[in-house]
Amino acid sequence: MTEKLYYKDGYLKSIDATVTGVLDDGIILDRTIFYPEGGGQPGDRGSFGPYEIADTVKGDNGEILHKINGEKPSSGDTYTLTLDWSHRYEYMTEHSAQHLVSSLLYSELGIGTLAVHQGDGFFTIETDVAEISEEKLLEIEDKASLAIREGHDIFQKCLPRSDAEELHMRRTIKVDDDDVLVVFIDGLDKVACGGVHLKNTSEIKEIAYKGFEIIRGHVRTIWLSGDAAIRYRRENSCMLAKLSSMLSSERENIISNTEMLIKEKITLQHEVKSLQAKIAALEYSVAMAGGMSPVMIASSSPSSSFESVIPESEKCIVMVADESSRFLFHGDKNYFDILKASIPSIKGGGRGMMYRGSFSGDRKEFLDECEKVLNG
Compute the distance between CA of residue 326 and CA of residue 321 in angstroms, rounded to an integer: 10
Instruction: Kindly indicate the confidence band of residue 117, based on its pLDDT and cuts at 50, 70 and 90.
Output: very high
**Span 221-235, average pLDDT:** 96
Outline which parts of the chain fall under CATH 3.10.310.
276-375
* pLDDT given at position 272: 92
3-83: CATH class: mainly beta
The helix/strand/coil state of 99 is: helix
Q: Whole-structure pTM over 0.85, yes or no?
A: no
Q: Give the percent of the chain with pLDDT over 90.
A: 64
> Residues spanned by CATH 2.40.30.130 within the chain?
3-83
Quick one: average pLDDT of 80-91? 96
pLDDT attached to residue 43 = 94
Residue range 307-326: mean pLDDT, rounded: 74
The pLDDT of residue 362 is: 80
Let me know if 185 is exposed, middle or buried by CB neighbors in 10 A (0-12, 13-18, 19+).
buried
- The stretch 109-137 carries a mean pLDDT of 95
Look at 34-38, 141-145, 233-237, 291-295 and tell me which has the smallest mean pLDDT. Answer: 291-295
CATH 3.30.980.10 location in the chain: 89-243
Question: What's the confidence (pLDDT) of residue 62?
Answer: 86
pLDDT digits (tens, 9 = 90+) for 195-207: 999 999 999 999 9
CATH class of residue range 89-243: alpha beta
- What is the band of 333 on the pLDDT scale with cuts at 50, 70, 90? confident
pLDDT band for 135, please (50, 70, 90 cuts). Answer: very high
What long-range pairs does 170-178 form, CB within 8 A, spacing at least 24? Answer: 170/102, 170/103, 170/106, 170/107, 170/112, 170/113, 171/112, 171/113
- pLDDT of residue 297 exceeding 70: no
Task: Indicate the CATH number for domain 276-375.
Answer: 3.10.310
Classify the C-alpha dihedral 99-105-106-112 as positive or negative.
Answer: negative
